[in-house]
Amino acid sequence: MGALHRIDPAPAAATILQRPSALDPSAGDPVVQVRGITKRYGGSVEALKDIDLDIPRGKLTTLLGPSGCGKTTLLKIIAGLLEPSSGEVRVNGREVTGPGPERAFVFQDFALMPWATVLRNAAFGLELRGVPRREREDIGRHYIREVGLAGFEERYPHELSGGMRQRVGLARALAVKAEVLLLDEPFSAVDEQTRRKFQEDLLRLVAQEKKTFLFVTHSIEEAVYLSDGIVMLSRRPGRINRIIEPAIDRSGSPDEIRRDKHYLDTVEEIWHGLRDYVD
């Protein structure tokens, strides 16, 4: 229980777990541990209530929930960009008191510097760390290639489409070699085609980079398609409704996966679950 750790791509229906009252400490080696996080804005708006969560290492975990349920809030608390009202977050066992080098954030609105080229933007995390120019630009170039933007190094953000800008944001996060990537609805501002392409690329990067990805979305299909584990948040105040491990067999082509019965069943199941608690 509480294990987001199943590796076996069981062909059975998705494992659906009730929200654990206490997380199972024996369940492997979570890289991020969230304990009793509550967040109130301005004393009155309760955005999150009593969140307990373990994020397994090297997996893609999704935070799924309706708009305004506190997904961004939770992600920013884990990133150290927001202070929780109570509770604590531990990363690799150490308490989070602010941003750290082992975490990198991909922003929903890209947060690219309009006056800087793609290359400088991608290498900006390294620039802030004082990495010499040559070295950081080499690393920047490498990750720009990795996210499929080779040839755009000297362009400015306003010359790129939304999807491409988000790729720059992803390259910037990858370039600092953080263990945990926190992605806040990275696909929300891009069209459906780009979104699918981006999803493929993300899956490839997850397999290749061996990093932990914590990913926020409000799309059920996207969550099921991408995730090893889905954490479903309920409406405000956000609470963990349940945790699902889709265990989709990703050996087939994207189209095969999207037609896969198991995939479709899982999407359907989440839909039903959502309806239960929306009503």
Ligand X SMILES: Nc1ncnc2c1ncn2[C@@H]1O[C@H](COP(=O)(O)OP(=O)(O)O)[C@@H](O)[C@H]1O
Query: What residue ranges bind ligand X (CB under 6 A)?
Result: 41-42, 45, 47, 65, 67-73, 236
Shortest reach from residue 7's CB to other proteins, in Å: 26
Among residues 124 and 225, whose Cβ is nearest to other proteins?
Answer: 124
Which of other proteins, Mg ion, ligand X, none does 69 bind, CB closer than 5 to 8 A by kind? ligand X
Q: Per CB under 8 A, does 127 bind other proteins?
A: yes
Told to check if 79 binds other proteins by CB under 8 A, we report yes
Residue 223 partner contact from Mg ion, ligand X, other proteins, none using kind-dependent CB cut-offs of 5 to 8 Å = none
* 227 lies in the site for Mg ion, by CB under 5 A: no
Question: How many whole angstroms separate alpha carbon 142 and alpha carbon 16?
Answer: 39
What does 41 bind: other proteins, Mg ion, ligand X, none (CB cut-off 5 to 8 Å by kind)? ligand X
CB of 170 to other proteins, least distance (A): 12
Residue 5: which residues within 8 A CB-CB, separation 6 or more? 27, 28, 56, 59
Out of 14, 37, 64, 160, the residue judged to bind other proteins by CB under 8 A: 160
- List of residues 6+ apart from 74 with CB closer than 8 A: 34, 37, 39, 48, 51, 63, 233, 238
Q: Which is nearer to Mg ion, 49 or 71 (CB)?
A: 71
Q: Determine if residue 143 is left, alpha or beta; phi over 0 gives left, psi from -120 to 50 gives alpha, anything else beta.
A: alpha
The order of strands in the sheet holding 15-18 is 15-18, 240-245, 229-233, 60-64, 212-217, 180-184, 103-106
The SS3 of residue 80 is coil
Counting contacts by CB under 8 A, is residue 157 touching other proteins? Answer: yes
Q: Are 225 and 199 in contact (CB under 8 A)?
A: yes
Amino acid at 128: L
Among the listed residues 154, 75, 99, 163, the one whose alpha carbon sits nearest the alpha carbon of residue 122: 154
Residues 191-210: x where in contact with other proteins by CB under 8 A, - otherwise, as a string? --xx-xx---x--x------
Q: Under the criterion CB under 8 A, does residue 99 sit at the interface with other proteins?
A: yes
Sign of CA dihedral 231, 224, 10, 55: negative
Give the count of residues interacting with other proteins (CB under 8 A). Answer: 46
Q: Is the dihedral of CA 161, 111, 199, 146 positive or negative?
A: positive
Is 33 a binding residue for Mg ion by CB under 5 A? The answer is no
Q: Are strands 86-91 and 94-95 parallel, antiparallel or unpaired?
A: antiparallel
Choose which of 72, 121, 199, 266 interacts with Mg ion (CB under 5 A). Answer: 72
As a whole number of angstroms, the distance between CA 228 and CA 246 comes to 6
Given the rule CB under 8 A, which of 7-15, 23-31, 154-162, 236-244 is the region that contacts other proteins?
154-162
CB nearer to ligand X: pick between 73 and 199: 73
- Interacting span for other proteins (CB under 8 A) from 132-140, 146-154, 241-249, 259-267: 146-154
Binding interface with Mg ion (CB under 5 A): 72
